[in-house]
Amino acid sequence: MREVILVGLNHRTAPVQLRERISFPEEDLDRYLKELQDLPSLAEGLILSTCNRVEICAATRDPEKGVKEIKSFLAHQHHLSLSEFEDTLYVLQGEELVRHIFRVAASLDSMVVGEPQILGQIKGAYRAAHATRSTGTLLNKLFHKAFSVAKRVRTETSIGNGAVSVSFVAVELAKRIFAHLEGREVLIVGAGEMCELAAQHLVSGGVKRVLVTNRTWERAMELAERFQGEAIPFSELPNALLRTDIVISSTGSPDFVVRREEVSEIIRKRKNSPLFFIDIAVPRDIDPQINTIDNVYLYDIDDLQEVAEANIKDRRQEARRAEAIVATEVEKFCRWYQSLEVVPTIVSLREKMEGMREKELDKTLSALPQLSEKERRAMEALSEAIVKKILHGPITLLKKTGRNSEGELYVDVVKKLFKLDEE
């Protein structure tokens, strides 16, 4: 009977310096998969390699040997000695392994819980393995199930909702204010790194134009160029506020750069068209009082962080619901796996008893040649009935327990009682 094993390391067990040395570059994955297939004890194999984890999942008839081979495969492929990283590796098997794979796919094991990329990465790893014919029935079933569990978690919990980084929070807020970001204009005041990141997210969200203003003209030019935007002199700031929709500010100025009276005037001139200020400077650039003006919205760095933290908290709560889903799915999968073992056990039990019956019957009949055809048939029927009666109990029990967690135990007991493993 094949078993699935997993050997891997992730962001919790290994530092990035090690992870990057052990990772499998995507472009060479086919070659690695072929070499993995060549390992003598493995029947199926799959390599998952992302920046946060490297895991090899395989099906084998000899788990102990399989684990050893995978470990030395890792060392050999990356020209490391096993002792350098062996203690960062985890080895999983059975129910634990199923749970691990389901949790990884559902993004419960990610650094940022609920991040959506991991599912795509696993799907990629599976596709690559499938294409090189490295997967078989067991891994196919396991990974297809993992994908459906991940989908269930996504639709039934809101684990992926709510931005958890400051710059994504800014984008999400913009979407609560504006119907869409396409065609909007964003103005960057100052040129901090955070500004750039937030602006980057807004641009990928569809923002049309980026204006940049800064006290140092060169820096403004530089940043504007990066976004293929437009640099404007700092003195033009009030005019720029008339046409832009979103303002991201992070100057080093000790005073407010934008004041309340100014904004009241501007919002009137803008005919109340909404204006969203994101102030990520410390000390703050924008008078907090402007949040009281209608159609003007202001978030400073603390506000953004608070939103992000609240979202993280929400995700944690959702993660608990997701774990419950994973738990029931793991149980279902394990039951399926056990039932795989129950069926062949029943078959071999029947075969063995049938063989015994035929052998003994032949012996007896050949010792009694004077028996009539009718008597011979009666003896045959008798032996059949006895075997059937004997097997009835064990087979019903196996079938019944195969559906719950005790299945494994009874398969083992039956195998031992009837010495099924000997042939």
Partner 1 sequence: MNAHFFQITLFFYLSGTIAYLIYLVSSHERAAWSGRHLLGVGFVSHCLTLVLRYIEAGHTPVINFHESLSFFVWMVVGFFLLLRHHYKVEVLGAFVSPLALLLAIWAAVLPKEILPLPPVLRSWWLPIHVTFAFLGDAIFALSFCAGVIYLIQERFVKSKRVGSFSGRLPSLEVLDEINYRALTIGFPLLTIGIVSGAVWAEYAWGSYWSWDPKETWSLITWLLYAALLHQRLAVKWRGKKAAVMAVVGFGAVLFTFLGVNLLKEGLHTYSEWFR
Q: How far is the CB of 151 from partner 1 (least distance, A)?
A: 13
Q: Where on the chain is the footprint of partner 1 (CB under 8 A)?
A: 155-156, 158, 161-162, 172-173, 175-179, 271-274, 291, 294-295, 297, 299, 303, 306-307, 310-311, 314
> Whose Cβ is closer to partner 1: residue 62's or residue 172's?
172
Least distance in Å: CB of 180 to partner 1? 8
214, 242 Cβ separation under 8 angstroms: no
Closer Cβ to partner 1, 44 or 318, answer by number: 318
Give me the least distance between CB of 299 and partner 1, in Å please.
7
Q: Which of 51, 57, 195, 334 is catalytic?
A: 51
Instruction: Show the tokens assigned to 310.
Output: 């609240």
Q: How far is the CB of 210 from partner 1 (least distance, A)?
A: 20
Catalytic site includes residue 57: no
Is 79 or 271 the residue whose CB approaches partner 1 more closely?
271
Give the whole-angstrom CA distance, residue 205 versus residue 201: 6
Closest distance between partner 1 and the C-beta of residue 185, in Å? Answer: 15
Residue nearer to partner 1 on the CB measure, 161 or 253 = 161
Q: Residue 309 or 351: which CB sits closer to partner 1?
A: 309
Asked if 299 and 278 count as a contact pair (C-beta separation under 8 A), the reply is yes
Cα angle at 136 between 132 and 140, to 5 degrees?
Answer: 95
Rg (the chain; Cα; Å): 33
Which residues are catalytic, by number?
Answer: 51
